[in-house]
Amino acid sequence: MNYSQLSKEELQQIYDLQKNEYDNLVSQGYSVDIARGKPCNEQLDIAMPMLNMEGIENMPKSYRNYGMLDGIPELKKIFAQMLGVNINEVILGGSSSLNLMYDTIQRALQFGIMGGAPWNKSAVKFICPVPGYDRHFAICEHFAIEMINVPMDAHGPNMDLVEQLVANDESIKGIWCVPKYSNPTGVTYSDEVVKRLASMKTKAKDFRIFWDNAYVVHDLTDTPDVLANIMELCKEAGTEDRVYQFASTSKVTMAGAGVSCIATSVNNVKDILSHMTMQTISYNKVWQYIHYLFLKDMDNVREIMKKQRDIIKPKFDTLLRAFEDSFGEDSGIATWTNPNGGYFITLDVLDGCAKRVCMLCKTAGLTLTAAGAPFPYGRDVNDRTLRIAPTFTSDSDLIVATQILTCCVKLACVEKLLEK
């Protein structure tokens, strides 16, 4: 049933039914949250043995002291294998890769990169594939960096537009990328997109790709997406200094107590450490070693992630079934992604309805990510895109969430169609 082809009388009948259902949902006093991509308690329980880790007594005594600014080699090796880089191209950080991204931009603004001019000496712009990660955009807004939207498709950002922009504007200093299971669409960049990012001509000599590989091991199927190795491609293109790659164990071990890393060229590593040495003497090497004991190697990391998948995949399935049952393929009021990994589903509703859906959901007791959040400055010009995060809530609450969400989508979209 395509809603746009229905008569006013038919739409009014649907509206009346949905309004009755909505009023009933509101009366239940629900309180459900699917706003942020957080691990649930069952996922976090997988890593609880870390708090009493066997083998900690064998930790090198030097790890208790100052030093080793770039982190312990045992854990660096695991991250290097995870990201497809050399161990000397890895720096370990604290619990948040977002912290490393913030610091990297702040250093560039204040000190420049590898002897170059500080970015803050003139206007700075970043390319932002959209829809994208709201916290990336928040960093740019915090530093008054102008953001340029570039649309995403099933292969990644529109590279014709990206190449045109970076080739002609020296003030464009970077691009944000969540290349595997992108937040929020779940898209994995195609080989061609990664190659073009590595090899494209940029007017700014200090242009950098901020490659936020947050979901590098976060597969939901036995046939996961495969992401091309951007570091290898940059080396082939002679642009190995171009990419800063970020990752963490936040959604592997514990979200509030992970270990992050930045992986980049040896030249960049040297430059970063020259500033970091003024900031800290070392991150928590004891916790890094406990991570090493728990993770062991990449084979074991994959086994841990299978346990994670077993917990969250049914939640994705619950949402996807609800969308299919409620909207079908030809409703004309909703389309959605079906990702092979990551933490999000993108739900696109009828233009002009996303904010109304969020408002209706809030009144019914369902918290969503704010409409517009996946776009710079919170501006979705189409008022269409919603980011749905199913992982944190319980199975029973997620069923309630699907009931509220699908009802609110129908109600908001029918309201819009009745206005015409």
Residues 212, 328, single domain; the answer is no
Query: C-alpha angle with apex 352: 347 to 353, nearest 5 degrees?
Result: 50
- From 296, 325, 354, the end of a domain falls on 296
Same domain, 290 and 312: no
How many other CB atoms are there within 10 angstroms of residue 11's CB atom? Answer: 18
Number of domains in the chain: 2
Is 54 domain-assigned?
no
What CATH number should be reported for the domain holding residue 395? 3.90.1150.10
The answer as to whether 53 is a domain residue is no
Gap between the Cα atoms of 387 and 385, Å rounded: 7
Backbone region of residue 243 per phi and psi (left: phi > 0; alpha: psi in -120 to 50; beta: other values): beta
Q: Give residue 314's pLDDT.
A: 98
Domain membership of residue 221 (yes or no) is yes
Please tell me whether residues 231 and 263 are part of one structural domain: yes
pTM of the model: 0.97
Q: Say whether both 96 and 241 belong to one domain.
A: yes
Alpha-carbon gap, residue 335 to 386, rounded angstroms: 11
d(CA 41, CA 13): 42
φ, ψ at 167 (rounded to 5°): -75, -20
In a domain, 95, yes or no: yes
Structural domain contains residue 224: yes
Cα separations (Å) of 377 from 93, 101, 142, 147, 195?
A: 28, 19, 11, 9, 29
Smallest Cα–Cα separation from 359: which of 297, 301, 313, 412? 412
**Does some domain include residue 208?**
yes
18 with 68, same domain: the answer is no
Q: Are residues 289 and 311 in the same domain?
A: no
Beta-carbon contacts of residue 32 (< 8 Å; ≥ 6 apart): 365, 366, 367, 393, 397, 398, 400, 401, 404
CA dist., res. 366 & res. 364, Å (int): 6
Indicate the helix (H) or strand (E) that contains 128.
strand 125-130
Q: How far apart are CA 414 and CA 418, in angstroms?
A: 6
Residues 359 and 223 in one domain: no
User: Quick one: 177 and 320 in the same domain?
Assistant: no
Q: How far apart are CA 260 and CA 405, in angstroms?
A: 34
Buried b (16+ CB within 10 A) or exposed e, 169-181: beebbbbbbbbbb
Could you tell me if residue 3 is left (phi over 0), alpha (psi between -120 and 50 degrees) or otherwise beta? alpha
Q: Are residues 123 and 250 in the same domain?
A: yes
| Strand intervals (E) in 249-383 | 260-263, 334-336, 345-349, 366-367
Query: In this predicted structure, what is the pLDDT of residue 1?
Result: 84
Q: What is the DSSP letter of 281?
A: S
Per-residue confidence (pLDDT) for residue 69, from 0 to 100? 97
Q: How far is the C-alpha of 245 from the C-alpha of 229, rounded, in Å?
A: 11
Same domain, 291 and 306: no
Strands 208-212, 172-177: parallel, antiparallel or unpaired by DSSP? parallel
Q: What is the CATH number of the domain that holds 155?
A: 3.40.640.10
| 52 in a structural domain | no
Distance CA 276, CA 133 (A): 26
Q: What's the number of CA atoms in the CB half-sphere (13 Å) around residue 158? A: 12
Q: Angle at CA 80, nearest 5°, toward 211 and 237?
A: 55
Domain final position from 296, 323, 345: 296
Joined tokens for residue 402? 């699907």
Domain boundary, last residue among 264, 296, 328: 296
CA distances from 302 to 82, 290, 298, 305, 371 (A): 10, 18, 6, 5, 34
Point out the residues of the chain with pLDDT beneath 70.
420
Asked if 22 and 152 sit in the same domain, the reply is no
pLDDT digits (tens, 9 = 90+) for 314-337: 999 999 999 999 999 889 999 999
Nearest CA to 343 out of 95, 43, 80, 92 is that of 43
- Note whether 26 and 171 are same-domain residues: no
C-alpha distances out from residue 47 to 43, 157, 290, 301, 389, Å: 8, 35, 11, 12, 21
Residue 132, in any domain of the structure: yes
Domain with 221, as residue range(s), is: 59-296
